Amino acid sequence: MPAIDLFETNATAADAPADDAFDITPDDVNELPFVTRSIYVGQGGNLTVVTRKGTTVTFYGLAAGTTLHQRVKKVLVSSGATLTTAANLVGMV
């Protein structure tokens, strides 16, 4: 029997739980397939991203298991002297 979705007909608010997820491989050139609602950090470290509005920012010292609630369109490998060291990233949409 398939799972029943009691919320299928509800509008999705920005702060609602994610509907789907995808693995993220940092890339300095290509954008993610979807702008995220949040990013799960499986292995801690620094995370350099480009936000939905185009701002490049580095989140330093993220712990493993952190969920970063940020709308992101790109996860960079490096940005100047800053290197993304966090790994096992999952984008949630």
Has this prediction a pTM greater than 0.75?
Answer: yes
User: If we measure between CA atoms, which residue out of 26, 42, 40 comes closest to residue 83?
Assistant: 26
- Distance linking the first and last C-alpha atoms of the chain: 26
Burial (CB count within 10 angstroms: exposed 0-12, middle 13-18, buried 19+), residue 58 = middle
Handedness of CA 42, 20, 91, 18 (dihedral sign): negative
Running along the chain, 93 residues long, what does each successive block of 10 average in pLDDT? Answer: 85 82 97 97 97 96 97 90 92 96
- Note the pLDDT of residue 77: 94
Q: Which are the contacts of 34, defined by CB distance < 8 A and separation ≥ 6?
A: 22, 91, 93
Give the model's pLDDT for residue 48.
96
